[in-house]
């Protein structure tokens, strides 16, 4: 392991490495090196290599052949032609595990409890053409290393090369949770779009797909035993996620080192359930909606009803059982008290039980979370369940802090593990203008647009003590989709969401100016691989690092 002092010296000498996220410790050189036409990745030292590792090697080899990414310099690398033609050739990358015993697959390791995943690796690429080496004590770590190796190379007239050999990389994540959330309820996203997003996530080492799969507007998840919810609540019979789709997505994600954490938000954001079970929903589509919900349509679970509590517990258990992840989110945000105050059934239940609304919410939460524990899940909630309500939560409950980054310290003071998801840094939908009708001057509630620079500047432990900082699991970008669909999924997410991927892998404090050329590389490489990432600057600027800085 390289000492941290050495790290700072190495990084200062060689800032041009294009890897994203930046390795925790690395050094580079100035020697040209090219991949041999016969280059191969050697797994022979791993007895019984799992199929998903074999497939990951095949994908890496494919990217090396087909990325064809030219260097982001004015002549796109042409002036280095002679040096590249005269360079030594690298024939192989040897991949090996440093532990003995049973070899677990990437897919198995990806869904381990978030705090026990092992993603570290070491990567050495000599300058003299002798075999490169990738080592890790987990297949998940090997996968992360393969991802890094694939980012080291450029193309010039069919030659795959680097000008920075040798590489010595010792890498591991600063935080175990690095996520991206997608809302598939406001607008539907086909499975192919989700898979493409999972691919892109894996290329920047994001390891958790937070799937906000249902909400008040639609219920596209086909849950065994509760299929009436999707039959009556999906936008159409074609716009659903069947159990086979879920299995496909979960397996696809796991093979790419990604855990799928699903969410069914309760007791709010559940209006659509009334289409199949009106008995369980208060103030269904009540008007004016602004008095009953944060956005239309209004409708919340009748949390004081024992029948509704039992129904919800069963639904959550059935839905959670569709996913391999140890984490499952029950939401808990944006509860509207007026909805319950105006709901006769809820008021009757509260009176009969001699409970306040908060006491009923506590009973509801304890019951639903107990159900999740029965199927081996750890509950995840939005911050209100910790800060705004008097509910009993298990000590291992994870809180998503979304309303403001200023609330993080309050959650930490309560002693809960937390994930950064603050709207003031990580919401991708901000700045798109208001989406509700008859509101000419309306803006998005979380204006302004959240730039990649804003999220890249985030400090995960700001205002926290050393002990409280240990509660931070990581963080994520989020896309709420009132104004997003398949048509703009890639451009609104990429490459912005890569910025938090680096913050939570490499740690905070990165230099925006030095990061920008590497993030250009991310966007261009994504485009080569079929992801429609947007430009961050005019091409003239992207090819001339620093020339478009404010003080250039």
By annotation, the residues acting in catalysis are 334
Q: Within a 10 A sphere around the Cβ of 297, how many other Cβ atoms?
A: 17
Q: Please, how many CA atoms are within 13 Å of residue 309, restricted to the half-sphere of its CB?
A: 17
Taking every pair of Cα atoms in the chain, the longest distance, rounded to a whole number of angstroms, is 86
- Degrees (nearest 5) of the Cα angle 101, 146, 522? 150
Residue appearing with tokens 């002549």: 75
- Degrees (nearest 5) of the Cα angle 515, 519, 520? 120
Overall size of the chain counted in residues: 552
**Residue 331's closest CA among 286, 298, 374, 361?**
361
Cβ neighbours of residue 341 under 8 Å, at least 6 residues apart?
Answer: 347
**What DSSP character marks residue 143?**
H
Residue appearing with tokens 């009748």: 302
**What DSSP character marks residue 221?**
B
Q: Which two tokens stand for residue 27?
A: 């050094």
**What DSSP character marks residue 105?**
P
CA gap 466, 388 in Å, rounded:
25
Buried b (16+ CB within 10 A) or exposed e, 467-483: ebeebbbbbbbbbbbee
Strand pairing of 25-27 and 167-171? Answer: antiparallel
Q: Within a 10 A sphere around the Cβ of 427, how many other Cβ atoms?
A: 22
Q: Rg of the chain's alpha carbons, rounded to an integer? A: 25
Please spell the DSSP secondary structure of 335-359, one letter per residue: --HHHHHT-HHHHHHHHHHT--HHH
Per-residue CA distances from 434 to 14, 44, 392, 414 (Å):
45, 56, 36, 35
What is the helix (H) or strand (E) element at residue 94, kind and residue range? Answer: strand 88-97
- Degrees (nearest 5) of the Cα angle 422, 425, 427? 75
Residue appearing with tokens 């989406």: 435
Buried b (16+ CB within 10 A) or exposed e, 243-262: eebbeebbebbbbbbbbbbb
What is the helix (H) or strand (E) element at residue 504, kind and residue range? Answer: helix 496-506
Yes or no: say if 146 and 106 are a contact pair by the CB < 8 Å rule: no
Residue appearing with tokens 């258990």: 317
**Residue 533's closest CA among 503, 500, 502, 489?**
489
Yes or no: say if 139 and 103 are a contact pair by the CB < 8 Å rule: yes
């Amino acid at each position: 392991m390289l000492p941290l002092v050495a790290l700072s010296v190495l990084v200062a000498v060689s800032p041009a490495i294009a890897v994203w996220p930046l390795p925790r410790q690395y050094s580079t050189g100035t020697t040209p090196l090219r991949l041999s036409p016969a280059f191969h990745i050697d797994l022979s030292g791993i007895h019984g290599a799992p199929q998903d590792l074999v497939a990951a090697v095949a994908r890496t080899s494919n990217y090396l052949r087909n990325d064809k990414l030219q260097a982001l310099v004015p002549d796109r690398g042409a002036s280095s032609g002679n040096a590249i033609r005269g360079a030594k050739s690298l024939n192989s990358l040897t991949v090996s595990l440093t532990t003995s015993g049973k070899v677990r697959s990437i897919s198995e390791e990806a869904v381990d409890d978030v705090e026990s995943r092992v993603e570290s690796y070491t990567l050495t690429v000599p300058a003299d053409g002798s075999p490169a080496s990738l080592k890790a004590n987990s297949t998940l770590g090997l996968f992360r290393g393969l991802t890094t190796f694939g980012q080291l190379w450029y193309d010039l007239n069919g030659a795959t090369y680097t000008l920075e050999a040798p590489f010595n990389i010792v890498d591991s994540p600063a935080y175990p949770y690095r996520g991206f959330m997608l809302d598939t309820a406001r607008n539907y996203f086909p499975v192919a779009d989700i898979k493409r997003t999972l691919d892109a996530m894996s290329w920047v080492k994001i390891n958790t797909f937070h799937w906000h799969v249902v909400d008040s507007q639609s219920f596209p998840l086909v849950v065994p035993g509760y299929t009436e919810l999707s039959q009556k609540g999906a936008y159409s019979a074609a716009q659903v996620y069947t159990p086979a789709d879920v299995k496909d997505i979960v397996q696809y994600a796991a093979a790419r080192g990604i855990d799928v954490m699903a969410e069914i938000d309760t007791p709010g954001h559940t209006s659509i359930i009334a289409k199949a079970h009106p008995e369980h929903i208060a103030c269904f589509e009540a008007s004016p909606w602004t008095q009953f919900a944060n956005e239309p349509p209004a409708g919340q679970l009748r949390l004081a009803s024992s029948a509704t509590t039992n129904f919800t517990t069963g639904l959550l258990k059935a839905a959670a059982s569709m996913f391999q992840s140890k984490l499952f989110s029950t939401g808990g945000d944006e509860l509207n008290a007026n909805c319950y105050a105006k709901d006769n059934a809820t008021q009757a239940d509260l009176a009969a039980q001699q409970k306040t609304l908060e006491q009923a919410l506590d009973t509801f939460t304890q019951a639903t979370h107990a159900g999740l524990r029965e199927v081996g899940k750890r509950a995840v909630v939005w911050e209100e369940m910790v800060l705004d309500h008097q509910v009993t939560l298990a000590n291992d409950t994870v809180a998503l802090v979304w309303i403001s980054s200023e609330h993080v310290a309050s959650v930490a003071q309560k002693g809960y593990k937390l994930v950064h998801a603050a709207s003031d840094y990580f919401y991708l939908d901000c700045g798109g203008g208001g989406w509700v009708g008859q509101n000419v001057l309306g803006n998005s509630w979380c204006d302004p647009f959240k730039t990649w620079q804003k999220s890249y500047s985030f400090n995960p432990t700001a205002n926290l003590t050393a002990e409280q900082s240990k509660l931070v699991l990581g963080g994520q970008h989020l896309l709420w989709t009132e104004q997003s669909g398949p048509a703009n999924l890639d451009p609104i997410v990429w490459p912005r969401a890569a910025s938090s991927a680096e913050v939570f892998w490499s740690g905070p404090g990165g230099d925006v100016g030095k990061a920008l050329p590497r993030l250009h590389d991310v966007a261009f490489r994504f485009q080569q691989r079929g992801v429609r990432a947007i430009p961050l600057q005019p091409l003239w600027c992207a090819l001339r690092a620093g020339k478009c800085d404010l003080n250039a």
